[in-house]
Structure 1
């Protein structure tokens, strides 16, 4: 069954405000809930944050007071949505447990997007990045067992493997080599635009989370590992945001953001296993439909264009969290030794990469290697959770 969000008005904007009781949602159970429910929560939180920050940036360059007021009205509702979504996460979970869930999101969401991406250049960008998030999951899992004495498979529940990816030490590249060529807005498949927005938002959320959580740890190795991987997440945001055509107007971007929110809430409604959470996804979808209508009206008035010129007439195949073990193993077999040069990818280290490595490492072992050595010294081996291929 197809679904065209442009044909639905949703809940009127002036009926969307919620009071404190309605915003005070009960969190999911950290021990009994579906790990992919937690992944959906984290992914949608990133989408809401991106929508809010985009609206703020738009407002800062917009001289039209009426437009600024409409953006503010929608943005406040988005902020309420973000609080509800993010507050579904259990307070009983430690920041490190949430971190492992963030990396599970990064691995399985990016892998799914890569599998579905129709543009070979964009597909390669996602395949390149996912092998790095895969390794981050492995490094944090070793830290988790060392300082909290628990195993990461309790969190990922056998859905995602915990094994080495492209070694984190090799993720430190010259900033110029993290900038990719963008898609062409006039030729790109509408699905490609949604993919780029989704992964950019997810990585941006992860970058922000690590830069704030990292210094709250007392253990030196934890502080160091968050600092190292936090810097790599900045690289990833640069990598993914550069995929978006900078020639898109603010109005096009606004419509794309709202359409993408409709897409993801609709997608996650299809597979959500927690009935209480599914009701929230359905409610937010009906709110987002009205936000999309408001964005389309603004584009018609200010850009003189119809939304059908920018977005697809119906939602694509729903985004799905599912195991990607075999796909990731194939990428490990074929792409683990890639690095970047300019906007492209190469297998051999080059002078700019080696100079960056030398400067960042400073002749010392990076935290991402140290955490494995410390775990091995303490337990006799590193921590990994390898599954049967499927």
Structure 2
């Protein structure tokens, strides 16, 4: 049934502050939870963190004290939501186990968005990036077996394949070649704007996570692999954030952020298999409805526009975590040898690409290759989990 957040009211803002007891949610069971429940938690945490960072940036660029106070009020409530969402992850899971789940999110969320994206140029941007996340999952899975003597299939549960993608060592490009042409805010479909915001947020959270957990490992190869892939996540954030039209006003972007939160919470409420987690998605959706209305009021007052000018008449079909094995296999067959040049894609190595490779690798194998070599030395082969 069609759902338009603008037609519904939620929990009033002055009733949304929760007590410590309410914030202290029970985490999911790492050994028995649906892997896609974990994926939804990680994805939603990224969405909440992006909303918070955007609100802070808006406040730092705003002179109106009334607006700053309203942003602060909603932002505090969003922080409580973020704490609940991220604290659903089990403390018993290692950082590396969570990392593998992060890459499962990147693979299956980006692949789903690419499948659903109506704009051919944006679709290609997602297709290009997902093959790199796919390879990161493979590299971390090999590290996981070496460091913790466990297999990644325990985490991904066969829903996502663990096989080589575009080799990680070829992901290092000149920064100028990571900048894409933005969509046109006046002509781009609302669903495309939500897709761009969602993938940007997910990749940004992955980048932030690796920047912080990478040096916590003692094993040199683990520290080195996080450092390498962390640099690539910076490239991915540049790649995806450049797709967003910088001509969108602050008010327009505020409304889109709140609307996207409604979209994701509604999607996950509709598709969640864990009843307890589903109840949290429903609660947060009812909070976000009021956050959206507050943003719309600001847009009307300060941008002198109606939110319907930038939003669709109803939410799109729910975002769904599901296997994308056939789709990814097709991309592996047709796009594994792509790199970027300027704002487009090419199959041949070019001068800037080769210069960056030489400057970074210095003629040596990077950590992403050495981790596979080390796994083969220890176990006789690399770790893979292909479709059954």
Normalising to structure 2: TM-score of the pair? Answer: 1.00
Please show how residues 286-297 of structure 1 align to structure 2 within 5 Å: 286-297=286-297
Q: Which residue of 2 aligns with 1:248?
A: 248
Q: Which residue of 2 aligns with 1:163?
A: 163
The whole-number CA distance in structure 2 between the counterparts of 1:362 and 1:319 is: 42
Q: Which residue of 2 aligns with 1:277?
A: 277
Please show how residues 210-221 of structure 1 align to structure 2 within 5 Å: 210-221=210-221
Q: Which residue of 2 aligns with 1:133?
A: 133
Cα distance per residue 1:123-174 (max 9 Å; x no partner): 0000000000000000000000001000000000000000000000000000
The whole-number CA distance in structure 2 between the counterparts of 1:261 and 1:302 is: 22
Q: Which runs of 4+ in 1 moved over 2 A?
A: none
Cα distance per residue 1:244-289 (max 9 Å; x no partner): 0000000000000000000000000111010000000000000000
The whole-number CA distance in structure 1 between the counterparts of 2:21 and 2:378 is: 47
Q: Which residue of 2 aligns with 1:30?
A: 30
Q: Which residue of 2 aligns with 1:40?
A: 40
Unaligned runs of 5+ in 1: none
Q: Size of the alignment, in residue pairs?
A: 388
| Deviation of 1:364 (Å) | 1.2
Please show how residues 310-349 of structure 1 align to structure 2 within 5 Å: 310-349=310-349
Residue 340 of structure 2 aligns to a residue whose secondary structure is strand
| Deviation of 1:363 (Å) | 1.5
Please show how residues 132-281 of structure 1 align to structure 2 within 5 Å: 132-281=132-281
The whole-number CA distance in structure 2 between the counterparts of 1:351 and 1:255 is: 42
Q: Which residue of 1 aligns with 2:107?
A: 107
Residue 293 of structure 1 aligns to a residue whose secondary structure is helix
The whole-number CA distance in structure 2 between the counterparts of 1:368 and 1:270 is: 38
The whole-number CA distance in structure 2 between the counterparts of 1:228 and 1:133 is: 13
The whole-number CA distance in structure 2 between the counterparts of 1:31 and 1:260 is: 31
Unaligned runs of 5+ in 2: none
| Deviation of 1:190 (Å) | 0.2
| Deviation of 1:9 (Å) | 1.4
The whole-number CA distance in structure 2 between the counterparts of 1:71 and 1:235 is: 30
| Deviation of 1:191 (Å) | 0.2
The whole-number CA distance in structure 2 between the counterparts of 1:174 and 1:9 is: 47
Normalising to structure 1: TM-score of the pair? Answer: 0.99
The whole-number CA distance in structure 1 between the counterparts of 2:378 and 2:303 is: 62
The whole-number CA distance in structure 2 between the counterparts of 1:316 and 1:123 is: 17
Cα distance per residue 1:72-128 (max 9 Å; x no partner): 000000000000000000000000000000000000000000000000000000000
Residue 345 of structure 2 aligns to a residue whose secondary structure is strand
The whole-number CA distance in structure 1 between the counterparts of 2:357 and 2:365 is: 11
Residue 192 of structure 2 aligns to a residue whose secondary structure is helix
Computed over aligned residues only, the root mean square deviation of the Cα atoms, in angstroms, reads 0.3
The whole-number CA distance in structure 2 between the counterparts of 1:290 and 1:165 is: 42
| Deviation of 1:186 (Å) | 0.4
| Deviation of 1:384 (Å) | 0.4
The whole-number CA distance in structure 2 between the counterparts of 1:224 and 1:182 is: 33
The whole-number CA distance in structure 1 between the counterparts of 2:319 and 2:79 is: 23
Q: Which residue of 2 aligns with 1:7?
A: 7
